[in-house]
Structure 1
Amino acid sequence: MKRRYLLLVVLLPVLFIISTGFIVKDDKGNAIAAMWFKNQADTFVTPTLESFVPDFPGGFNSPVLGTSYIGFKEALAFSESSGNYFAVNRLGYKGRYQFGQSTLKWVGVDSARDFMSSPAMQESAFDALVARNKYVLREYINAFDGKTIGGHKVTESGLIAAAHLCGAGNVKKFLDSGGEDVFADANNVPLTSYLSRFGNFDTSIIPANASAKATL
Structure 2
Amino acid sequence: MKSRQVFLVVLPLVFIFWSFSYDHLKLDYHNLYETVEYSSKQNIEIANEFIGPVIETKCSDVRYYSLAITPPDSFLTFREALAFKESQGKFWKINSLGYMGKYQFGMTTLETLGVTDSLKFLRSPRLQERVFIKNLKYNHEILEPYIEKYTGQKIGGVYITESGILAAAHLSGPGGVKRFFKTKGRKANRDAYGTSIKTYMTRFGGYDMSEVIEP
Q: Same fold (TM over 0.5)?
A: yes
Max Rg structure: 1
Q: Aligned residue for 2:188? A: 182
Paired residues, what number? 159
Are residues 1:195 and 2:201 paired? yes
Are residues 1:150 and 2:156 paired? yes
Aligned mates of 2:152, 2:116 — CA distance in 1: 37
Q: What secondary structure sits across from 1:167 in the alignment? A: helix
Q: Aligned residue for 2:211? A: 205
Aligned mates of 1:83, 1:136 — CA distance in 2: 27
Change (3 A) 1:20 1:113: closer
Change (3 A) 1:35 1:139: same
Q: Is the 8 A contact 2:89 2:102 kept in 1?
A: yes
Q: Is the 8 A contact 1:36 1:85 kept in 2?
A: no
> Any gaps of 5 or more consecutive residues in structure 1?
1-17, 25-32, 38-62, 209-216
Change (3 A) 1:102 1:203: same
- Structure with greater strand percent: 2
* 1:100-131 deviation line (CA, Å, top 9, x unaligned): 00110111112111111110000000000000
Aligned mates of 1:204, 1:154 — CA distance in 2: 16
> Any gaps of 5 or more consecutive residues in structure 2?
1-21, 29-35, 41-67
Amino acid at match of 1:161: A
Amino acid at match of 1:97: Y
Aligned mates of 1:22, 1:162 — CA distance in 2: 29
Change (3 A) 1:20 1:105: closer
TM-score (norm 2): 0.68
Q: Is the 8 A contact 1:159 1:171 kept in 2?
A: yes
Report percent identity of matched pairs: 38
Of 75, 82, 97, 1:76 maps to 82
TM-score (norm 1): 0.68
Q: Is the 8 A contact 2:25 2:38 kept in 1?
A: no
Give 1:2-151 correspondences, 5 Å limit.
21-22=25-26, 35-36=38-39, 64-65=69-70, 66-151=72-157
How far apart are 1:98 and its partner, in Å? 0.2
Amino acid at match of 2:90: N
Superposition RMSD in Å: 2.4
Q: What secondary structure sits across from 2:209 in the alignment? A: coil
* 1:136-185 deviation line (CA, Å, top 9, x unaligned): 10100000011100110010000000000011101010011111001110
Runs of 4+ with deviation above 2 angstroms: 18-24, 33-37, 205-208
Q: Is the 8 A contact 1:35 1:85 kept in 2?
A: no
Q: Considering Cα pairs closer than 8 Å and 6+ residues apart, tell me whether 1 or 2 has the greater RCO.
A: 1
Of 158, 161, 166, 1:160 maps to 166
Change (3 A) 1:200 1:23: closer
Q: Is the 8 A contact 1:22 1:35 kept in 2?
A: yes
Q: What secondary structure sits across from 1:130 in the alignment? A: helix
